[in-house]
């Protein structure tokens, strides 16, 4: 059986409130600290969250047409380049805004987003398909969940940069990991599979769990639990897992912090799997 539905609708409000409360306490120098998000500083990550939140409210609540390319995307690389330019143009413009203005705007926009997602049905069509899971059409719960993972992992980058420590509610990270695991069948699409070949993913920590990636009806699939007698086993902490899936570990760091046992080559695509467009 594949992974169950993950309902994140009522996590948006407390998560964004937690972030806003943190931002209101930061001294000026903290806004200039580097983060796990490449070249972005704390202020850039906050600005990006404001951007994506305003976009989602505009598209989902108000029916505004999303900006699109001149021609349909033919590759994931083209999609990534388009998204990166959208993000970069906003970051450039945001340099005109103060930390207080960014915080006040995000407080309002994130409250609006929470109200929007709390009123959505889980079983309807998604506004956007979840491309990193290889989907051309998705259900609403997955698209909503993808949006939640975006808010969570960028907020986590901010918390780490300013020394705030992990979030107080481990249910949020557990939901993020449950959603990110949907990236694995797509990441393994080029790996030859047999019914007797499987990989157990053991994520330790309060937000963790155990899952098995296996072949079902000729395709890779993932389900909860340990199937027993796997071909390989990958073990990592919940803190390592989110960094892996959200592109915050270098290849060498991933290899050092994820323990592979058994047929270790079966674990290599896991180290490259991402639950973001890169």
Q: What is the 3-state secondary structure (H, E, C) of the chain?
A: CCCCCCCCHHHHHHHHHHHHHHHCCCCHHHHHCECCCCCCEHHHHHHHHHHHHHHHHHHHHCCCCCCCCCCCCCCHHHHHHHHHHHHHHHHHHHCCCCHHHHHHHHHHHHHHHHHHHHCCCCCCECCCCCHHHCCCCCEHHHHHHHHHHHHHHHHHHHHHHHCCCCCCCHHHHHHHHHHHCCHHHHHCCCCCCCCCCEEEEEEECCCCEEEEEEEECCEEEEEECCCCCCCEEEEEEHHHHHHHHCCCCCHHHHHHHCEEEECHHHHHHHHHCCCCCC
Please provide the CATH number assigned to the domain covering 183-272. Answer: 3.30.1050.10
Backbone angles phi, psi at 77, to 5 degrees: -65, -40
Third-level CATH fold of 9-170: 1.20.120
Phi-psi region of 229 (alpha: psi -120 to 50; beta: other; left: phi over 0): left
Nearest to 49 by CA among 80, 77, 11, 23: 23
List CB contacts of 6: < 8 A, sequence separation 6 or more: 141, 145, 175, 178, 179
Answer whether 0.85 is exceeded by the pTM.
yes
pLDDT of residue 261: 97
Q: Is the pLDDT reported for residue 4 higher than 90?
A: yes
pLDDT tens digits, one per residue of 81-107? 888 888 899 999 999 999 999 999 999
- Provide the residue ranges of all domains of the chain, joining segments of one domain with +: 9-170, 183-272
- Check residue 196 and give its pLDDT: 85
Residue pLDDT, tens place only, 6-28: 999 999 999 999 999 999 999 99
Residue that the structure tokens 């906003």 belong to: 90
Nearest CA among 26, 8, 2 for reference residue 159: 26
Mean pLDDT of 34-52: 97
Residue 138 to residue 212: CA distance in whole angstroms:
22
Tokens of 183: 């990236």
Q: Would the pLDDT of 233 be above 90? A: yes
């Amino acid at each position: 059986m594949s992974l169950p539905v993950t309902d994140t609708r009522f996590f948006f409000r407390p998560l964004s409130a937690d972030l806003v409360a943190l931002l209101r306490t930061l001294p000026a120098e903290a806004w200039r600290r580097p983060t796990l998000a490449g070249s972005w500083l704390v202020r850039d990550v906050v600005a990006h969250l404001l951007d994506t939140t305003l976009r989602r409210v505009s598209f989902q609540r108000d029916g505004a047409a999303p900006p699109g390319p001149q021609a349909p995307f033919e590759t994931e690389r083209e999609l990534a380049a388009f998204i990166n330019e959208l993000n970069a143009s906003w970051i450039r413009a945001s340099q005109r805004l103060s930390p207080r203005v960014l915080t006040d705007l995000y407080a309002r926009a994130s409250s609006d987003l929470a109200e929007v997602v709390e009123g959505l049905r889980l079983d309807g069509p998604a506004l956007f398909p979840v491309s990193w899971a290889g989907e051309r059409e998705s259900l609403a719960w997955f698209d909503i969940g993808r949006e939640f993972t975006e808010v969570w992992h960028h907020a986590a980058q901010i918390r780490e940069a300013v020394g705030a420590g992990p979030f107080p509610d481990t249910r949020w990270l557990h939901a993020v990991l449950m959603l990110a695991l949907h990236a694995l069948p797509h990441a393994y699409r080029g790996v030859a599979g047999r019914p007797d070949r499987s990989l157990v993913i053991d994520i330790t920590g309060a937000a963790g769990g155990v899952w098995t990636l296996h072949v079902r009806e000729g395709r890779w699939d993932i389900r909860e639990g340990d199937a027993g007698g796997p071909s390989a086993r990958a073990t990592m902490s919940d803190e390592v897992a989110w960094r892996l899936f959200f592109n915050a570990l270098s290849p060498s760091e991933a290899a050092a912090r994820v323990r592979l046992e058994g047929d270790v080559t079966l674990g290599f695509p896991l180290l490259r799997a991402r639950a973001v467009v890169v």
